[in-house]
Amino acid sequence: MLSHADNEYMSRIGDGTAMGTFVRRFWTPLMLSEDLAEPDGTPQEVRLFGENLVAFRDTEGRIGVLQALCPHRQAPLAYARNEECGLRCIYHGWKFDVDGTCLDMPNEAPESVFKDRVRADAYPTCEAAGVVWVYMGPKDRQPEMPDMEWMRVADSYRNVHRFHVEGNWVQAMEGDVDSSHIGFLHKNLRDLRDPAKAGRENRYQALDKAPKWVIQPTDYGMMIAARRNAEDDTYYWRINQVMLPYYTSVAAPIDGSAGLLHMWVPMDDSHTYVWTVMWRTQRPMTERERSDMIEGPTPHVATYDPATGGLRGNHQNRFFQDRMEMKTETFSGIFGIREQDAAMTVGMGPIVDRSKEHLGAADSAVIALRRILIKAARDLESGEEPYAPYHGDVYRRRAWSAVLPRNDDFLNDPVANQMHESLVP
Amino acid sequence: MTQAGIALDDIVEIEDFSEATILALAARLERSTAFQELIAREIELDELWRRVETGIKAVADDPAATVARRSLQAIFELVWQAHDLAGAERPLEAAARLRQATTLGN
């Protein structure tokens, strides 16, 4: 349960809101570099933090992110000519470079200095790990890039995907810290009926449904540890990481060979970009691994629509829920992991009313996430700058899982601290 | 560990909104300082709030229960405040709200 006031405070990210001010302190993933592959190519419209923007790659390969509408008559710059290091609005020919400087104003007299007084709103950008990043906070507070493991592996080692869904970013993000839903929403009936025959990790999860939770706030966000009984002399640990402001890293396989991270980036208060990053730590991903993300037997995203950047599944078509499959195959009857999650979080409405919730012990991490976010925004409001955006190295943490000899105090052991560290130098 | 052998980061089942239950929760709040301990208290307060809400509904249509209803609504409000104070890492103030609630009778 969260009061209406706290719920609004946490969820809304518009310009001037406390949470909006907080999330603007960080570099934000905007789009894939390949979406702006060609210099002087087609400008792309994008919505971020409630602002409509246009992104383009200029003649020299630089990325510009400008206000979506021309400062002149508010015509859409997405239609603009992209030429000679700038966007030229096709309405009256005004031209702006990647910094928002007005380079040309051909419908005014040549001697006019009007163009020197007009600028387009422009935001700093950079490219890293195949992603275009933008910074929308105060100019004198530009942060460091987060030094996450997936950003340090070679391009061939990772797969990055983005789509958008309805619903507020926090309720989408909460799903990744709500571990108990995994045993239901994402399960096959076969594993639920006969957990002893499931794989080792699934079996531990199925047989110990009430893990011991350890939740620790950290300088990057928080660590969520679930400790389950494994064999008589071992525990099965799953460590997830929440990294501010909207990154969730889900426990990797026991062998540490791969990683999974989500970025829940607010388009506005009621729409979210869901980024999924999968990577291998020791070898390139195979084509099969890449295609399985969307086309595999248990796809991460099953109904991605490249034409819209969203999902074909939605609340109106009930995410193609199949009642027959619910009887025979899966708990949800919905195909695709992200579709299963979206069916739940989109169906809650644009911003879920958390004052009507009834939370229990299994929701500890959800409550903790909310408290972390609210506290971070409140601290900034009271003048305390966040630590993480200015210390990119704190993002060198990884989620992990392991079966280890029983030690109730393992998380305080130096070995545990080493396991949090990135495997990629 | 508490006297009853329950760690402060464990979540205690809240089965009613009796004075004893509320006072025990207030006592745990007063000893809670760590992040996870406060999350545990918030969950207990959630459950307490739900129990009081159920109590209010039980007497909602009883014309003879006007006083009890008013008292329960006051307790409900105090538990809500305590919940938000625990979430804001102000456990001592939260505990004070609960102790105040026990003076209202239910």
Same domain, A308 and A331: yes
Q: Shortest CB distance from B39 goes to which of A1, A3, A215?
A: A215
pLDDT of residue A205: 79
Same domain, A379 and A286: yes
- The string of pLDDT tens digits covering residues B71-88 is 999 999 999 999 999 999
pLDDT of residue A411: 78
Contact predicate A53/A69, CB 8 Å: no
Is A376 inside any structural domain? Answer: yes
Same domain, A107 and A158: no
pLDDT of residue B4: 59
Q: Is A117 on the interface with B (CB under 8 A)?
A: no
**pLDDT range class, residue B106, cuts 50, 70, 90:** low
β-pairing, A87-88 with A234-243?
A: unpaired
pTM over 0.80: yes
Angle, helices B66-87 vs B91-102, to 10°: value is 170
pLDDT of residue A220: 97
The number of distinct structural domains making up chain A is 2
Tokens 């942060």 locate to A143
Domain final residue pick, A134, A168, A184? A134
In this prediction the ipTM stands at: 0.88
Same domain, A349 and A315: yes
- Best residue of A223, A364, A373, A408 to probe chain B, by most B CBs closer than 10 Å: A364
Q: Dihedral sign, CA of A262, A266, A271, A273?
A: negative
Domain final residue pick, A134, A163, A179? A134
First to last CA, chain B: 30
- H-helix or E-strand spanning residue A213: strand A212-217
Is A3 inside any structural domain? Answer: no
CATH number at residue A110: 2.102.10.10
Same domain, A120 and A161: no
CB contact under 8 A, B39 and A368: yes
Domains and CATH numbers, chain B: 19-102 (1.20.120)
Same domain, A181 and A42: no
Nearest CA in chain A to B37: A215
Secondary structure of residue B43 in the 3-state scheme = helix
Secondary structure of residue B26 in the 3-state scheme = helix
- H-helix or E-strand spanning residue A250: strand A247-250
Q: Is B69 on the interface with A (CB under 8 A)?
A: no
- The string of pLDDT tens digits covering residues A152-182 is 999 999 999 999 999 999 999 999 998 888 8
Same domain, A50 and A104: yes
Same domain, A225 and A104: no
Count Cβ atoms below 10 Å from residue A111 Cβ, excluding itself.
5
Same domain, A380 and A286: yes
Domain final residue pick, A104, A134, A164? A134
Count Cβ atoms below 10 Å from residue A209 Cβ, excluding itself.
11
* Cβ neighbours of A374 in B, within 8 Å: 87
Same domain, A76 and A160: no
Q: Is pLDDT of B2 > 60?
A: no
Same domain, A58 and A117: yes
Q: What is the mean pLDDT of chain A?
A: 93
What distance in Å separates residue B58's CA from the closest CA in chain A? 18
pLDDT of residue B1: 47
What is the mean pLDDT, run by run of 10 residues, along chain A of 425 residues?
Answer: 94 97 98 97 98 98 98 98 98 98 94 93 98 98 97 96 97 92 86 76 78 91 92 91 96 84 98 96 93 85 94 96 95 95 96 92 93 97 98 94 85 77 78
> For residue A260, what are the domain limits?
149-420
Q: Shortest CB distance from A364 goes to which of B43, B47, B49?
A: B43
Is A23 inside any structural domain? Answer: no
